[in-house]
């Protein structure tokens, strides 16, 4: 009985779906789109992330080692980070997972781990970059990505961050096109960006680093969209959404202060049955 | 009627005439006629927010009809415009061009390799860019200033009057392509500015240039982009564009379109040597289709300090400086060290675009990737000398290799495999191609 419960608890954990979808995207990227992802770097990222998570578990005296979150972070990093140096890949994994344990406010980590590592390394080193155009803009590809991502979100029951971000960002892009009297093919093309969709579905949606209330999350998504737009179309810098997320992350504790809600737990769906699980990830 | 030539109307010639010996085979391709029509060449020198853009055009027609409207991401002044040297652009084109290399099989009966080579270097001569500056009178409210730079009359348009450009062009009988006004207006709202360059016939005859020399503009802007939207308005089918980026850190790619490496390092049949231009055109066409006509293609990414094999010598420091690579030292400082350690990375991108598949301007970013890449295709000549031993197994190997090359060529270009086979000189006395079922040869 106990085993059956544990199994059903696992199936309810959205992270399994997330890992499956991210792995699928990675396979598609490598096999079809010829991404230039180095398998050695991918392996280094996964191994390092798991090792740092293990060390962090020991250090924080957590009851059990949880490999799922570092695996998701590793996959996100592998999908987005491009580097020609193995050491940068290792450093990325260390910074990502390390930030979860070290940069915390009131029981929540501040930054999405993959986002923190990506931005820090892009700023610190010439050897890290994000190839946002590499996904192409094939409409069908974008559609598939969106659907697959949505699956993850509905399982995570926190789809409003993603929907709000896409709605606000899309509104700004279309608004800009109207202001410039540009054809709508331009904002449509801008929206059909694989990296943007991966960001919306797999990064900003991270329930651990978004506000605890639905209203807070919608406000937060609007803020990230506005900052991303500013970076991309007023300062003309690439990777607007990824930069915007890290800039807005410190606002989350303030939003939580104003709008109180429950801290997200991955196993939330099964909590009522088996009680509180002590753990932070 | 004057002709309104948008942005940079040009027909690019991929001039690959140099032959040089190198470690990885011998560069042999000759395709000194235009590979692609209606093509433009743009060189973007970029570091931090400083950009120097060189636009080479190969305008065909009466030069008195020539006028070009160039959008630039920021307000510019007279000193920011220069007339460059066409030979340097051609040199950069030759240096980065896709190449065909050849290897000769050694005598299968000998134990050492014999490689026949010819060395014939053609180094484009760089001439010093001429500069002539003459301030002309202001043309009133819509034109801020007018100058003569080399053989060009340059009109810098006032930033204050957004409709000025359209009005001026219409007043001066320039024919605007349909939809140009909207695009110009959109660019102006995005704080872009324009200048108009037309030919000063008097100056041109004085200078004696037969071709139009490239225009150069230096500016500071966060925008690392290339406005292509005006170029799509002419509606004469797809446009061909080559972008050469010269940067300090690494390879350049587009952030809003896929940047795809063209297939490279493929062994192709010997006859491709005589049809390299056709081969390359067909292969490019096939790759464009494969990417649904939406990709930007990488043709070359290399550290400017060297090449292997060299389609042409790397550019000298002097040439680089003339292209606007402001961070390389002048020739006096480095005369003995050159051409090593230029600290310049060159990326050659090739894009075929129209407004349907490329609705938005090209936006670039510099990456940290310094991995060298080149479009390189290989031919291997079988040993044709007198054999002093039994070479049947060597000939069987050659036969297999030729079949492999035929299929690789068919895959790359979409050409008919039988046509390809008919052009391959298969060695005599070898088994027929492996199109026969395998069992036919099983029991002899």
- How much is the pLDDT for B62? 66
pLDDT surpassing 80 at residue B166:
no
Residues of A with CB under 8 A from a CB of B: 33-34, 82-84, 125-129, 131-138, 179-183, 185-186, 188-190, 193, 235-239
- B residues 232..291 contacting A (CB < 8 A): 249-250, 253-261, 291
- In B, minimum Cα distance to A135 occurs at B258
A185 contacts B294? CB cut-off 8 A? no
To the nearest whole Å, the CA of A119 is away from the closest chain B CA by: 14
Facing residue for B222 by CB, picked from A83, A193, A237: A237
Facing residue for B294 by CB, picked from A84, A137, A239: A137
The residues, ordered by sequence, that sit 6+ positions from B29 with a Cβ below 8 Å of its Cβ are B16, B99, B100, B273, B276, B311
SS3 A244: helix
Q: What is the mean pLDDT of residues B379-386?
A: 85
pLDDT surpassing 60 at residue B64:
yes
CA angle A125, A129, A135 (to 5 degrees): 175
- How much is the pLDDT for B204? 75
- In A, minimum Cα distance to B184 occurs at A180
Q: What's the mean per-residue pLDDT of chain A?
A: 82
Q: What is the mean pLDDT of residues A176-185?
A: 94
Name the most confidently modeled range: A137-151, B68-82, B121-135, B347-361: B347-361
Interface test with A, best of B183, B369, B370, B371 (most A CBs within 10 A): B369
B239 DSSP β-pair partners:
B353
The residues, ordered by sequence, that sit 6+ positions from A15 with a Cβ below 8 Å of its Cβ are A68, A69, A72, A266
Say if B363 is an interface residue toward chain A (CB within 8 Å): yes
Q: What is the mean pLDDT of residues A218-238?
A: 94
pLDDT band, residue B117 (cuts 50/70/90) = very low
Q: What is the pLDDT of residues B295-336, one digit of tens each?
A: 999 999 999 888 877 878 888 888 999 999 998 875 555 444
d(CA B88, CA B78): 23
Q: What is the pLDDT of residues A133-166, one digit of tens each?
A: 887 766 556 666 666 666 666 666 678 898 899 9
Comparison of pLDDT for B131 and B108, the residue scoring more: B108
To the nearest whole Å, the CA of A217 is away from the closest chain B CA by: 28
Point out the least confidently predicted range of A249-263, B353-367, B369-383, B397-411: A249-263
Facing residue for A180 by CB, picked from B186, B225, B256: B186
pLDDT surpassing 50 at residue B122:
no
- How much is the pLDDT for B6? 33
- How much is the pLDDT for B139? 30
Facing residue for B189 by CB, picked from A84, A134, A179: A179
Q: What is the mean pLDDT of residues B115-130?
A: 30
B370 contacts A84? CB cut-off 8 A? yes
**Chain B residue numbers touching A137 (CB-CB < 8 A):** 256-258, 294
Name the most confidently modeled range: A168-177, B372-381, B382-391: A168-177
pLDDT surpassing 90 at residue A184:
yes
Q: What's the mean per-residue pLDDT of chain B?
A: 74
pLDDT band, residue B3 (cuts 50/70/90) = very low
To the nearest whole Å, the CA of A172 is away from the closest chain B CA by: 15
Q: Tell me the HSE value of B371 on the side-chain side, using a 13 A CA sphere.
A: 12
* Structure tokens that stand for B315 in this block: 């550019």
The residues spanned by each domain of chain B are 5-389, 390-439
Residue A188, phi then psi, degrees to nearest 5 = -65, -40
Say if B224 is an interface residue toward chain A (CB within 8 Å): yes
- How much is the pLDDT for A231? 95
To the nearest whole Å, the CA of B52 is away from the closest chain A CA by: 18
Size of interface A-B (CB pairs under 8 A): 84
- How much is the pLDDT for A156? 61
Give exposure, B418-428, as e/b (b: 16+ Cβ within 10 Å).
eebbeebebbe
Interface test with A, best of B253, B256, B296 (most A CBs within 10 A): B256
- Alpha-carbon dihedral sign for residues B106, B112, B113, B118: negative
- B residues 369..398 contacting A (CB < 8 A): 369-371
Point out the least confidently predicted range of A99-103, B317-321, B411-415: A99-103
Comparison of pLDDT for A217 and A37, the residue scoring more: A217
pLDDT band, residue A9 (cuts 50/70/90) = low
Point out the least confidently predicted range of A158-162, B28-32, B196-200, B352-356: B28-32
B369 contacts A126? CB cut-off 8 A? no
pLDDT band, residue A65 (cuts 50/70/90) = confident
DSSP assignment of B330-398? PHHHHTTTTTS----EEEEEEEEE-TTT--S-EEEEE-S----EE-EEEEEEPP-S--SS--HHHHHHH
- How much is the pLDDT for B15? 23
What kind and span of H or E run contains B171? helix B164-171
Q: What is the mean pLDDT of residues B119-135?
A: 29
To the nearest whole Å, the CA of A186 is away from the closest chain B CA by: 6
B360 contacts A189? CB cut-off 8 A? yes
**Chain B residue numbers touching A139 (CB-CB < 8 A):** none
pLDDT band, residue B160 (cuts 50/70/90) = low
Q: What is the mean pLDDT of residues B15-25?
A: 25
pLDDT surpassing 80 at residue A272:
no
Comparison of pLDDT for A249 and B175, the residue scoring more: A249
* Structure tokens that stand for B195 in this block: 């200048």
Q: What is the pLDDT of residues A114-125, one digit of tens each?
A: 999 999 999 998
pLDDT band, residue B201 (cuts 50/70/90) = confident
Facing residue for A190 by CB, picked from B223, B360, B371: B360
SS3 B84: coil
Facing residue for A126 by CB, picked from B249, B254, B257: B249
Interface test with B, best of A126, A177, A191 (most B CBs within 10 A): A126
Facing residue for B365 by CB, picked from A137, A185, A238: A238
pLDDT band, residue B68 (cuts 50/70/90) = confident
d(CA A261, CA A219): 14
- How much is the pLDDT for A84? 85
What kind and span of H or E run contains A234? none
Q: What is the mean pLDDT of residues B231-253?
A: 85
Q: What is the mean pLDDT of residues B244-254?
A: 94
Is residue B4 within 8 A of residue B176, CB to CB? The reply is yes
| Beta strands in chain A, from DSSP E residues, in sequence order | 81-83, 104-105, 108-109, 128-130
- In B, minimum Cα distance to A183 occurs at B359
- How much is the pLDDT for B235? 53
- How much is the pLDDT for B99? 87
């Amino acid at each position: 009985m106990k085993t059956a419960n544990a199994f059903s608890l696992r199936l309810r954990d959205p992270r399994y779906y997330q890992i499956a979808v991210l792995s699928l995207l990675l396979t598609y990227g490598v096999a079809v789109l010829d991404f230039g992802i180095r398998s050695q770097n991918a392996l280094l990222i996964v191994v390092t992330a798991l090792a740092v998570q293990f060390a962090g578990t020991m250090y924080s005296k957590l009851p059990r080692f949880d490999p799922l979150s570092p695996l998701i972070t590793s996959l996100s990093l592998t999908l987005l980070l491009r580097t020609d140096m193995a050491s940068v890949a290792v450093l990325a994994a260390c910074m990502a997972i390390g930030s979860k344990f070290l940069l915390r406010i009131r029981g929540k980590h501040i930054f999405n781990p993959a986002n923190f590592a990506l931005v820090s390394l892009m700023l610190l080193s010439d050897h890290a970059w994000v190839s946002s155009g590499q996904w192409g803009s094939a409409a069908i590809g974008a559609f598939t990505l969106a659907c697959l991502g949505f699956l993850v979100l509905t399982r995570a029951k926190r789809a409003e961050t993603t929907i709000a971000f896409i709605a606000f960002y899309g509104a700004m892009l279309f608004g800009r096109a109207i202001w410039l009297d540009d054809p709508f093919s331009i904002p449509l093309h801008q929206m059909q960006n694989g990296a943007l969709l991966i960001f919306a579905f797999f990064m900003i949606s991270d329930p651990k680093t978004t506000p605890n209330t639905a209203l807070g999350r919608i406000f937060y998504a609007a803020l990230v969209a506005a900052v991303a737009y500013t970076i991309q179309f007023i300062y003309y810098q690439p990777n607007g959404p990824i930069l915007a997320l890290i800039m807005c992350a410190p606002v989350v504790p303030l939003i939580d202060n104003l709008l109180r809600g429950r801290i997200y737990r991955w196993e939330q769906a099964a909590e009522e049955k088996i009680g509180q699980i002590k753990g932070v990830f | 009627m004057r002709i309104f030539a948008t942005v940079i109307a040009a027909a690019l010639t991929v001039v690959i005439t140099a032959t040089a010996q190198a470690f990885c085979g011998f560069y042999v391709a000759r395709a000194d006629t235009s590979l692609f029509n209606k093509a433009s060449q743009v060189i973007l020198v970029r570091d931090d927010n400083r950009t120097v853009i060189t636009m080479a055009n190969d305008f065909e027609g009466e030069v008195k009809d020539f006028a070009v409207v160039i959008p630039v991401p920021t307000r510019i002044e007279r000193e920011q415009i220069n007339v460059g040297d066409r030979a340097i652009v051609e040199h950069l084109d030759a240096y980065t061009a896709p190449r065909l290399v050849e290897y000769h099989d050694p005598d299968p009966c000998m134990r050492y390799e014999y490689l026949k080579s010819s060395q014939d270097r053609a180094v484009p001569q760089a001439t010093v860019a001429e500069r002539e500056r003459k301030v002309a009178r202001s043309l009133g409210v819509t034109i801020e200033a007018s100058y003569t730079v080399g053989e060009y009359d340059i009109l810098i348009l006032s930033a204050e009057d957004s409709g000025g450009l359209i009005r001026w062009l219409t007043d001066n009988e320039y024919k605007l392509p349909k939809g140009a006004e909207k695009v110009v207006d959109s660019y102006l709202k995005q704080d872009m500015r324009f200048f108009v360059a037309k030919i000063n016939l008097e100056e041109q005859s004085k200078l004696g240039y037969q071709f139009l020399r490239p225009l150069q503009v230096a500016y500071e802007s966060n925008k690392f982009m290339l406005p292509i939207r005006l170029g799509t308005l002419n509606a004469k089918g797809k446009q061909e564009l080559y972008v050469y980026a010269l940067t300090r850190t690494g390879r350049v790619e587009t952030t809003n379109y896929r940047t795809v490496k063209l297939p490279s390092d493929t062994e192709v049949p010997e006859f491709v040597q005589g049809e390299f231009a056709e081969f390359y055109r067909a292969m490019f066409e096939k790759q464009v289709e494969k990417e649904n006509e939406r990709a930007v293609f990488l043709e070359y990414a290399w550290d400017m300090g060297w090449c292997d094999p060299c389609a042409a010598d790397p550019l000298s420091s002097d040439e680089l400086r003339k292209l606007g690579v402001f961070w390389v030292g002048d020739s006096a400082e480095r005369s003995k060290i050159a051409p090593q350690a230029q600290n310049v990375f060159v990326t050659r991108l090739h894009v075929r675009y129209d407004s349907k598949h490329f609705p938005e301007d090209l936006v670039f970013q510099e990456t940290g990737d310094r991995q060298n890449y080149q479009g390189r295709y290989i031919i291997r000549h079988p040993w044709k000398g007198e054999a002093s031993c039994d070479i049947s197994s060597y000939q069987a190997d050659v036969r297999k290799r030729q079949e492999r090359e035929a299929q690789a060529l068919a895959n790359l270009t979409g050409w008919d495999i039988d046509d390809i086979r008919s052009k391959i000189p298969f060695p005599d006395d070898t088994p027929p191609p492996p199109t026969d079922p395998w069992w036919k040869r099983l029991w002899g």
